[in-house]
Amino acid sequence: MKKIIFFFTLLVLEFGYAQSIQSPSGKIALNFKLAPNGQPSYSVNYKNKLAILESALGIKLKEKPALDANFDILDSKTSSFKESWKPVLGEQSSIKNQYNELTLSLINKETKVKMNIIFRVFDEGVAFRYDFPKQAELNYFIISDEVTQFNLTENNKVFWIPGDFDSNEYEYNETKFSEIDNSKINMNNGIGVKSIPGKYTVQTPLMMKAPSGLYLNIFEAAVVNYPVMHLNADVTNYKLKAELVPNAIGDKAYLQTPCVSPWRTIMISDDARDIVASKMILNLNEPSKIEDTSWIKPMKYVGIWWEMHVGKSTWDYAGSQNATNFADAPKASGKHGATTENTKRYIDFAAKNGFDGVLVEGWNVGWEDWNGNWKEEVFDFTTPYPDFDIAAISAYAKDKNVKMIMHHETSGSVSNYERHLDRAFDLMKKYDYPAVKSGYVGKIIPRGEFHDGQSMVNHFNFVAKRAADYKIMVNSHESSRPTGYSRTYPNYIAAEAARGNEFNAWSVGNPPAHETILPFTRQLGGPMDYTPGIFEIKMSYYDKNKTEQVHTTLAKQLALYVTMYSPLQMAADLPENYEKYSDAFQFIKDVETDWDESKYLEAEPGDYVTVARKTKGKETWFLGAITDENARTSEVKLDFLTPSKKYKATVYADAANADWKNNPIAYQVKTMTVTSKSKLKLILAAGGGTAVSFEPLEK
């Protein structure tokens, strides 16, 4: 690690002030300007061409003068930084973090309130945040709005979802910027709670491609003690403005100096692979606060979960599958999924096939009446149903060398969960559960709060921190989307926070392009528990009257284990379905979850992704390639393999007649010997994919 102070040329104008700073390679330049009225703004150049037009900066305060104009410059500092750090789990064993930094110290000429704006310029983009130093003129304060703008140069193609304060579980829209319009979205999409503030509000990460071919991504990093930032789009003038999620009474953030805002980020490149491979969001977060991380381990797991989604069993003991039909003394119906006997069956399957863990949903009392009525007292997170013998199951799993994963559905009642949290974690430690999957379905309690507001951001972060005290890993569902906090608390091993595979079981589902967009959006902030691996694609397999299906081929489901990075991967289908397709199941058994190196070979948002990953500490490699609704053929070089070594490549590909809609289970498995000089032809069906394992051969 090194930090060097250096200087740039300042331009003090007769009517203002300007300063520029470049990225380490010089590709990207950040230009700061203080207008004659004291209003701060910035613009960004990529390879000497404007990528972001002059855009305003500033903060508005409740019952205090705004911090968006009338500033003077107190000081200006520049520095450079370079380090390599090792994530506990990740896509690569070492991450490079290099940037040039510019800090502008501002003072309001009337109120004398001081505010710093910190810019960091990386080779993959820029980041900036507001910094409020300790001062007599500003102590406690309330943010009412953020002035921050991102003004675009062109009518870009945009991959967007509504800026919903309560849900990020939408399918992506691919339109021109000028065509952003929430009123045109089909809201019969399986999402239970929707809170969309306006016609033109969209979520970040916002992935874009300019007509000139430039790729841009607007996001944020290190959201701590602050609400999530959505964006309001001016579709006529191609402008974006920060939209902070309010609390129950309309305020945005309660702060006390010294404090900082999250980083606002803009990734820029003329190569889409640079965006999807970027570690800028992680780099903008603080290093790990957990000293001993030896207990944080990747996991592949199976579980009692998909069988409820397809209607084979139920979460509730009474077997009604009605989340709002309370019975004082529910009686066993034989449909309950989380039974001792069924759990042992999954444990046996996990042990036989080398899986690390078993998740069980519906194990605890309360599922008869848990959703939709804003009910505060639902689950106590410690009382099992009568047919779930937690002690016997834990002993059985231990004997089979399988770990159990606890499930905590909060039904949105966060206050209730926090009251029970330590008792719930005590129970997990008693029975040796190393990980918890939390859920936040429904409207939030305290009532009036949103999933993306400041208090909920603090809750999600608090659970990760409290779980670290117990050496428990966290996988959150229905949470605000991650912004790199897993670097600071690496036990925050995964999250859902987007439209997952489950929507394919009972709704309009996820279109074939969905998984080609997520690596450019949701996954930039951290690993996603997407729950891939569905083999029985069509839900008519379970009920002939059902028309729902997974919108991929079986081979694409395999490829997702590589293209969608997560150290926590579920084999989501039923054990009996894997046993029917044992040759394809072999890839799920073999694929790793923690990596030394990742190479993005091909990438285009909304169209395709091809990535190769090297297993941490081993010479094995895995490759995943996926496409959208269009069939695709390409040829990739295998020059990522170690020179002079021969590898056995096992290829899991779409059959010649495969198609996501008409023939999704058609696949083929073949083997060949390859080297680093070989090329591999990929033939992907519509909605299809290819998965490959590379095993070094002995000389």
* CA pair distance 220, 501, nearest whole angstrom: 25
Strand order, beta sheet including 299-304: 492-495, 473-476, 435-439, 403-409, 357-360, 299-304, 568-570
Q: 146, 171, 502, 536: which one is catalytic?
A: 502
Dihedrals φ, ψ of 602, to 5°?
A: -145, 145
3-state class percentages of the chain: helix first, strand second, coil last, to nearest 5: 15, 35, 45
Q: Please report the DSSP string for 68-115 in residue order.
A: SSSEEEEEEEEEEEEEEE--SSSSSS-EEEEEEEEEEEEEETTT--EE
| Structural tokens at position 595 | 């990596």
Instruction: Give the chain's length.
Output: 699
What residues contact 339, with CB distance under 8 A and at least 6 apart? 387, 388
Task: For 76-115, give one letter per residue: b (16+ CB within 10 A) or e.
Answer: bebbbbeeeeebbbbbbbebebbbbbbebbbbbeeeebbb
Instruction: Classify 528 as helix, strand or coil.
Output: strand
225 φψ region: left (φ > 0), alpha (ψ -120 to 50), beta (else): left
236-270: string of b/e by CB count within 10 Å (b at 16+)?
Answer: eebbbbbbbbbbeeebbbebebebbbbbbbbbbbe
Query: Cis bond leading into 446, ω under 30°?
Result: yes
Q: Are 695 and 642 in contact (CB under 8 A)?
A: no
Residue type, 229: M
User: Distance (Å, rounded) from C-alpha 567 to C-alpha 91?
Assistant: 9
* 639 within 8 A of 677, measured Cβ to Cβ: yes
Task: Write out the two tokens for 46.
Answer: 């990529």
- Distance (Å, rounded) from C-alpha 598 to C-alpha 273? 11
Give the tokens for residue 144.
């009412």
Tell me whether residue 137 is one of the annotated catalytic residues. Answer: no
Selection from 218, 236, 283 nearest residue 51 by Cα: 218
Closest CA to 102 of 18, 158, 25: 18
Radius of gyration of the chain (CA): 25
Q: 36: closest CA among 50, 53, 18, 57?
A: 18
Residues involved in catalysis: 502
